[in-house]
Structure 1
């Protein structure tokens, strides 16, 4: 597996699993029903952010977007979002993307990383982020409308670099 900068040519490979994950409604509060052109700016970051892909040969296994959490006086804290193609889950793609993001943020001079909205019922993600050094700072109760569990909390997670 190689992690590299995403290019415009990668978007057609990212969009199918982006659409599938957003449509499932269990982990992201993105607008539903976006076509390929509407969804692109939600995932393909512009500088100072960046988007990467995890690939095995020509196959895109997953992707992450990252950059400053807030502009101006909040720009010293990074943030990121991650999606792994469900067809390639269980292969360590999420961990590799998370580790890559931490290394990138550290080398870019960020002071810390804040995840603003990790759905509390997304046990695999919560476990992974805690395993690589993030802590839950707070949980906003009933902030996410989950299609199975109803209103569930969103964790704010943080790692100081």
Structure 2
């Protein structure tokens, strides 16, 4: 059973155990693979974000954040980022995080959720986001410097959440 809750200061070690191996591969996130722990945690847990962790058996296995995609007149559209511990992939955790985040975004007053840069070669994520109701609304050519494949496209993906 997966429990999702707001992240706390006590979660820093668990968050880093997820974030570090995910960004280190350089194939799914814009963050530099060698981003230092404190800088990455400050980014993931910024005051402008609502950051969550997912637990099974009292072990943090995933995380996500929600925030306004743009300030002011664009603040009704949320942005989010999701990470699952590499040892926990393939168990449906990312899907549960996404579905929870859609409800949470509505609860927080957001009317849409937009992913600004889904790496096109991350086909598992692209397929999952589409299954969760997101549409590809744009392609940004060669916007991601993939560590193994070189320059690849990113997708802008979007879902209207309602009035």
| C-alpha separation in 2, matches of 1:68 and 1:38 | 20
Q: Secondary structure at the match of 1:79?
A: strand
Give the equivalent residue in structure 2 for 1:111. Answer: 111
| C-alpha separation in 2, matches of 1:95 and 1:12 | 23
Give ranges in structure 1 of 5+ residues lacking alignment: none
Give the equivalent residue in structure 1 for 2:29. Answer: 28
Alignment RMSD (CA, Å): 1.1
| C-alpha separation in 1, matches of 2:35 and 2:17 | 11
Q: Kindly state the Cα deviation for residue 147 of structure 1 after the two structures are TM-superposed.
A: 1.5
Do residues 43 (structure 1) and 44 (structure 2) align?
yes
| C-alpha separation in 2, matches of 1:148 and 1:32 | 13
Q: Kindly state the Cα deviation for residue 33 of structure 1 after the two structures are TM-superposed.
A: 1.7
Q: Kindly state the Cα deviation for residue 29 of structure 1 after the two structures are TM-superposed.
A: 1.0
Aligned length: 160
| C-alpha separation in 2, matches of 1:76 and 1:66 | 12
Taking structure 2 as the reference length, the TM-score comes to 0.94
Taking structure 1 as the reference length, the TM-score comes to 0.95
Give the equivalent residue in structure 1 for 2:74. Answer: 74
| C-alpha separation in 2, matches of 1:151 and 1:39 | 23
Q: Following TM superposition, where does structure 1 have runs of at least 4 consecutive aligned residues deviating by more than 6 angstroms?
A: none
Give the equivalent residue in structure 2 for 1:153. Answer: 153
Q: Secondary structure at the match of 1:154?
A: strand
